[in-house]
Amino acid sequence: MLRWSAQPFLRYVLALMAGIVCYAVFPGAKAIGGAYPVGGVLLLALLYLFLLFKKKFGARRTGLAGLLLLSSLGFLVSMAHDERQADDHLVHLPGRVLAYEARVQTQPEQRQKSFRFVLRVERVRTAGGWQNASGQILSYLSRTAATPPRYGERWLIAGSPERVEGPRNPGQFDYRAFLETQQIYHRHFLKPSQRRLLGLQPPSRSVQFAYRINGWADSLFTHHLKGNQEFAIVKAMILGVRDAIDPDLQQAYSAAGAVHVLSVSGLHVGVLFWVLSAAFGWMRKQPRGKALFFILVTGTLWFYALMTGFSAPVLRSVGMFSLFLLAQLLNRQHNLLNTLAASAFLILLFDPNALFSAGFQLSYLAVGGLAICQKPLYQSLVFKNRVANWLWEMTSVALVAQLFTFPLAVYYFHQFPTYFWLANPLVIPLSSLVLILAMALLGTGWITGLSDVIGFLLSKSMWLLNQVVLLTERLPYSVLGPFRLTGFELILLAGLLVCLLLIVMERRAGLIWWAIGISVVLSFLNLSLQWQREKQRILVIHAGGKQPMINLIQGNTAEFFHIIHFSDSDPAFTFNVQGTFDSLGVPGSGITFSQLDLHHQSIQIIARRGKTIGVIGRAYARNNVRLAIPLDYLVVTQNAVRDWKQLSGRLGARTIILDESNGRRTAESLMIQARTAGFKSIFWTRETGAFVTRFE
């Protein structure tokens, strides 16, 4: 039974989270001056102290006052971490930035054509001259640069960063909101010629050292792991860098319910803790052994955190295990759920935006679920055979973790891995073996023969792990979806799982009616959504990318039109189009890909449900084509038109759409011409986002 009195930090962290959410939800909160919230918190603190010493008011009222104080503290901490509160932040600058000085804030991540990293602005130059400024910029530098960026470099940069755009296609991932949780509101695509090195001044020597350790480990893995995908997965697991993973392999891990393996996480820290405890647990029985064991294990865990570049998930887990070990050292009674809540409390005090990270939410739900349910579930079945018992233990871990993270995982990723229970009993021990061998390789890298043997075993173990994941993905119906949950449906689904949990674990039979009621509401919402989707007839001209992307959606099927050599693995498709299919309930099996030959054909006509859609590209500009029948929609691509006079007497359309395969200057010129002439049925996806219309 879950007793609130046994885990006080659970109450404290929930109160703190309430204040953080209030700051994020209410827009007016961000405009509040600093003095008012501070004054409010001080008044609440005085009220709490008053109630604490005046015992006649009772413990309940005093406790409520304390929780209210913690909520106010959460609000205040969020405000203190909101960089937009600074008057000189980039979002407040009135004029256009012509140049700026900035420092490389993060370790550069290698992409296919660029380096990706974060710059922290120090000064900007506008029309009024140089002035101090603040803010972070997500930056991309072409890999043609002679030297890659280094943490701590100060640059003088010509040009102006741009605000990060919100989603421009139906159902598209909101990248702007994601970056805002990291206090990033601008981005800049840089050419090597735009920057000039001013010096090297790392803002943190410890972080600089962490990146050096990370680079040393990277070079060691590169030397010993010859297989590209084996190296990519190990690099992601140990160092937290996922830039080399093949997209198809990453999807396979997601389909197998093993995507948690692809990033440094609490699982890896837990495995490392278990190995250290098994190897050095005997020390705790010796005089002063507890202190030595504490120093050895916590030192190793924090070195691992250092090696990952102080990755946020690893810091969370290392903090939790450090608290656990400290409790053991001080002979204090240990409660895993309370320790977990205490670690979350400390993390949110230092970084309140971590609350809105999917990784933070999923990892704490998974570990919290294991603390509550894994042991009772494991003990519900007894196997005399050791192998069967071990397999059941691994399965119980996978079942509980998946159950507790199920609502959020579906909400964020829109799919459910069917065979997670089959894959994880093998994936967990194999990934643990990979982690142990990887750490052993780091420890013996200087011993030539031994390190070669360990590197060979690591490569083969990683290959076996990949094969298990790939085989699981190939099973029929390995992934269910796409699913789309609204915030209300997420709350209902979480409430249903809580009711079922309380019914099973605490025998609360009265909650059965609540569970039935929630199930009925969810079923009604799902049936209503399915009925709407069966009747949907939608045309989408997608924004983004440099190729035409036209979608005709009818019910649960879609016909996607694209040019030659375009595929569903193209980043432009996954980022701009896949979310549309997910949000409208179109499965992968319901998508038909049709190629547009705009290089040879002057115009291609698409006729659906009494509507005609014409698409023109490069060939149109070369050929004098006339069409007597007016079109309902004309999609202009690839700079087919540079002046509207080119259409006069040749093509007529009720609505014209310019997509982003047209050059910016050409499209801007055409839009100016259209506005001057008073045309209103002309759209440019760069300005308006995706063009979406429904067929009746």
Distances (CA, A) of 236 to 222, 271, 290, 303, 413: 13, 16, 33, 17, 20
Beta strands 114-126 and 631-636 are unpaired
Backbone angles phi, psi at 515, to 5 degrees: -65, -40
Alpha carbon distance 434, 275 (integer Å): 13
- For residue 12, give every residue at least 6 positions away whose Cβ sits within 8 Å of its Cβ, in sequence order, or none: 67, 70, 341, 345
Alpha carbon distance 656, 198 (integer Å): 49
Q: 134: pLDDT confidence band, cut at 50, 70 and 90?
A: very high
Alpha carbon distance 543, 687 (integer Å): 9
Contact between 124 and 130 under an 8 Å Cβ cutoff? The reply is yes
Rounded to 10 deg, the angle between the 266-280 and 289-307 helix axes is: 150
Beta strands in 73-219 (DSSP E): 99-104, 109-110, 114-126, 129-132, 136-142, 153-158, 162-163, 184-190, 195-200
| pLDDT exceeds cutoff 80 at 227 | no
Contact between 691 and 637 under an 8 Å Cβ cutoff? The reply is no
Alpha carbon distance 559, 552 (integer Å): 5
Question: How do residues 621-640 score in pLDDT, each as one tens digit?
Answer: 777 678 878 899 999 998 88
Which single residue is written with the structure tokens 């993905």?
473
**pLDDT reported for residue 62:** 62
Kind and range of the H or E run holding 593 = strand 591-596
Alpha carbon distance 286, 327 (integer Å): 18
Higher pLDDT, 379 or 625: 379
Could you tell me what percent of the chain has a pLDDT over 70? 90
Q: How many CB atoms lie within 10 A of CB 323?
A: 18
> CA 356 from chain center: how many Å?
10
Q: Out of 52-56, 153-157, 384-388, 587-591, which region has the weakest mean confidence (pLDDT)?
A: 52-56
Kind and range of the H or E run holding 634 = strand 631-636
Rounded to 10 deg, the angle between the 336-350 and 358-369 helix axes is: 170
CA neighbours closer than 13 Å in the CB half-sphere of residue 113 = 4
3-state secondary structure of 114: strand
Alpha carbon distance 642, 662 (integer Å): 10
The tokens describing 146, both together, are 């002679």
Alpha carbon distance 564, 595 (integer Å): 6
Backbone angles phi, psi at 312, to 5 degrees: -60, -45
Question: How do residues 564-574 score in pLDDT, each as one tens digit?
Answer: 666 656 677 88
How far from each other are the two terminal CA atoms of the chain, in whole angstroms? 56
| pLDDT exceeds cutoff 90 at 97 | yes
The tokens describing 633, both together, are 């929609």
Alpha carbon distance 204, 582 (integer Å): 42
Query: How high does pLDDT run on average in the chain?
Result: 84
CB neighbour class for 84 (10 Å; exposed up to 12, middle 13-18, buried from 19): middle
**pLDDT reported for residue 403:** 87
For the ranges 61-75, 173-187, 238-252, 284-298, the one whose mean pLDDT is highest: 173-187
How long is the chain?
696
Which single residue is written with the structure tokens 């140990």?
238
**pLDDT reported for residue 90:** 93
For the ranges 18-22, 30-34, 239-243, 647-651, the one whose mean pLDDT is highest: 18-22
In 3D, which of 171, 77, 179 has the Cα closest to residue 135? 179
Indicate the Cα dihedral angle 249, 250, 253, 254, nearest 10°: -140
Alpha carbon distance 567, 573 (integer Å): 8
Question: How do residues 173-207 score in pLDDT, each as one tens digit?
Answer: 899 999 998 899 999 999 988 999 999 989 888 88
